[in-house]
Amino acid sequence: MAFRWRSFALAMLIGLLSVADGVRAAAPQVPVLWDAKERLPKPDLSALPRLRFLTTTDFPPFNFLDGSGKLSGFHIDLARAICAELGIVEKCQIQALPWAELEGALQKGEGEAIIAGIAATPESRATYAFSRSYLQFPARFIMPKSKALTEPVFDKLHGKRVGVISGSAHERMLRDYFNTVQVVTFDRPEDLYDDLKSGKVDAAFGDGMRLAFWLGGSDAAGCCRFAGGPYLAPECLGSG
């Protein structure tokens, strides 16, 4: 979450921390993402006329329009929870804009915070004050169900043809950390999925959330499942 006010105290109220350093595969478990004993003082926001969060509608399940056209999702619920915790529900607003307009709107004072996937890079940190990381998207492999591997997968993947989107952070991660595979690059996810289903590649590697949506959709037709992982690599995928 990015803020126009560098000293804005809301940045201290989101205490969910990153769950890993480096590349790591974790067994399914409930992670401990924050210190339950931590107590932060609430800022005095009596002089704040408005707190408007800016977001988009194109990133379910985080921010999207539901069947009734209502702005919904995890980010929307989080923004409302922040306002409730601060006791400023009556001052709280959430506005959806196209992705390309978010940062410009924040700079022009049309909102006080962006609640969306703004990458925390050295360049963006020079402009914005960021909250603590509260979410990370792990990388995952998917494979046909009958051939899906279990951890440890590194040696088992030796020589396998693994598809990945060309030029993506996941291609870099695949080449850096799984350097015994045959990397096959694709320009479009649809082509990658087609080749996975037809057996032209042995596995696909990419963003775990997007792969999960595909696995659960009609296009996958129940062909495949996750294999190994999840994998977190802040140096490739960002810190959250």
pLDDT tens-digit map of 61-119: 899 999 999 999 999 999 999 999 999 999 999 999 999 999 999 999 999 999 987 77
- Domain identity same for 203 and 95: no
H or E element in which residue 65 lies: strand 63-65
- Domain identity same for 16 and 115: yes
- Domain identity same for 19 and 60: yes
- Check residue 19 and give its pLDDT: 31
Q: Is the pLDDT of residue 198 over 50?
A: yes
Please give the Cα distance from 71 to 67 (Å, whole number). Answer: 10
What type of residue is 145? K
What pLDDT band is residue 33 in, cutting at 50, 70 and 90? Answer: low
- Domain identity same for 188 and 219: yes
- Domain identity same for 99 and 160: no
- Domain identity same for 154 and 125: no
* Residue scoring higher pLDDT (22 or 199): 199
Q: Is the pLDDT of residue 9 over 60?
A: no
What pLDDT band is residue 60 in, cutting at 50, 70 and 90? Answer: confident
- Exposed/middle/buried for residue 239 (C-beta within 10 Å: 0-12, 13-18, 19+): middle
- Domain identity same for 111 and 8: yes
Q: What is the mean predicted confidence (pLDDT) over 22-47?
A: 65
> Mapping DSSP to helix (H, G, I), strand (E, B) and coil, where does residue 146 land?
helix
- Check residue 180 and give its pLDDT: 96
- Domain identity same for 45 and 97: yes
- Domain identity same for 121 and 186: no
How many domains, in total, are found in the chain?
A: 2
- Check residue 132 and give its pLDDT: 81
- Check residue 110 and give its pLDDT: 97
CA–CA distance from 159 to each of 30, 145, 203 (Å)?
A: 33, 19, 11
The proportion of the chain whose per-residue pLDDT surpasses 70, expressed as a percent, equals 85
Q: Which domain holds residue 195?
A: 139-237
H or E element in which residue 105 lies: helix 102-107
The residues, any chain, with a CB within 8 Å of residue 131's CB and separated by 6 or more, are 1, 3, 10, 11, 13, 14
pLDDT tens-digit map of 112-137: 999 987 777 788 889 999 888 777 78
Comparing CA positions, the residue from 126, 121, 4, 120 lying closest to residue 54 is 4
Domain boundary among 130, 165, 184: 130
* Residue scoring higher pLDDT (60 or 187): 187
- Domain identity same for 12 and 123: yes
Domain boundary among 103, 130, 157: 130
- CATH assignment at residue 30: 3.40.190.10
Q: Is the pLDDT of residue 226 over 80?
A: yes
Average pLDDT, the chain: 85
- Domain identity same for 51 and 167: no
